[in-house]
Chain A
Amino acid sequence: GQSLEQPSEVTAVEGAIVQINCTYQTSGFYGLSWYQQHDGGAPTFLSYNALDGLEETGRFSSFLSRSDSYGYLLLQELQMKDSASYFCAVRDSSNQGGKLIFGQGTELSVKP
């Protein structure tokens, strides 16, 4: 089966840097995605890593190590509006469907 593990919650202060880790176990692997979800809102796509290394998009970066089945999301210059849940997700390649398997989410609280 597939499973993803990420911390349930992280707290940081405004202006700081925070890293949210994700480890996964899948029967097949196409890539690791990250989504942000504010309370009650729709998940929104942040980043996608198919290959090893770091992808940077503004204040957010995402890293993948396929050999370690591990990735992380790095948020820099934290702002209050970054308080949200962050989900890692892998595409299940055991069929052609492209469905995403999500982790349980990490709730990030940014304090002043």
Chain B
Amino acid sequence: DSGVTQTPKHLITATGQRVTLRCSPRSGDLSVYWYQQSLDQGLQFLIQYYNGEERAKGNILERFSAQQFPDLHSELNLSSLELGDSALYFCASSRAGDTQYFGPGTRLTVL
């Protein structure tokens, strides 16, 4: 158990819909990272927040957005969902930026 929690574990929705994925980092970790992993693919960095502020952005689609709240939990919002958005979405947290601890992931299926 990494100490990072993510909800929900599974999410099934239809194209065009909007969903919100939630992540709570390890106690004391200020950085939260979001990654997308499609079938048989590597981990693609989406976005990072540090203590409530956006710190780095990857190839995140404009339909996707995220935020980090004062209690340091983070939410990833995915809208106008397409079939290709079906993937595992991982959240990770870190203290120093080198070692990232990953949550169990949310498996999103878009039908």
A interface list, Cβ under 8 A from B: 30-31, 33, 35, 40-45, 48, 50, 87, 89, 91-92, 95-105
Bound together, the chains give a CA A34 to CA B55 distance in angstroms of 23
Nearest to B50 among chain A residues (CB) is A97
B interface list, Cβ under 8 A from A: 2, 31, 33, 41-45, 48, 50, 55-56, 58, 88, 90, 92, 94, 96-105, 107
CB distance from B106 to the nearest CB of A (A): 11
Residues from chain B with a CB closer than 8 A to the CB of A41 are: 104-105
CB-CB under 8 A for A97 and B90, given A31-B98, A102-B42: no
Q: Are A100 and B45 in contact (CB under 8 A)?
A: yes
The 8 Å CB contact of A87, one of B42, B55, B99, is: B42
Count CB-based A-B contacts (< 8 Å).
70
Residues from chain B with a CB closer than 8 A to the CB of A42 are: 2, 90, 102-105
From B42, B96, B97, B104, residue with most partner A Cβ within 10 Å? B42
The 8 Å CB contact of B98, one of A33, A44, A87, A102, is: A33
Q: Are B2 and A98 in contact (CB under 8 A)?
A: no
Q: Are B2 and A104 in contact (CB under 8 A)?
A: no
7 contacts between A and B (CB under 8 A): A42-B90, A48-B99, A91-B97, A98-B31, A98-B56, A98-B98, A104-B41
Q: Are A104 and B42 in contact (CB under 8 A)?
A: yes
Bound together, the chains give a CA A70 to CA B42 distance in angstroms of 19
Bound together, the chains give a CA A89 to CA B103 distance in angstroms of 17
Q: Are B43 and A102 in contact (CB under 8 A)?
A: yes
**For the complex of A and B, 5 pairs with smallest distance between CB atoms:** A98-B97, A97-B56, A42-B102, A104-B42, A97-B55
A33-B100, A42-B103, A96-B56 known; 12 other A-B pairs, CB under 8 Å?
Answer: A40-B88, A40-B107, A44-B2, A48-B98, A91-B98, A97-B48, A97-B97, A98-B55, A98-B97, A101-B45, A102-B43, A105-B42
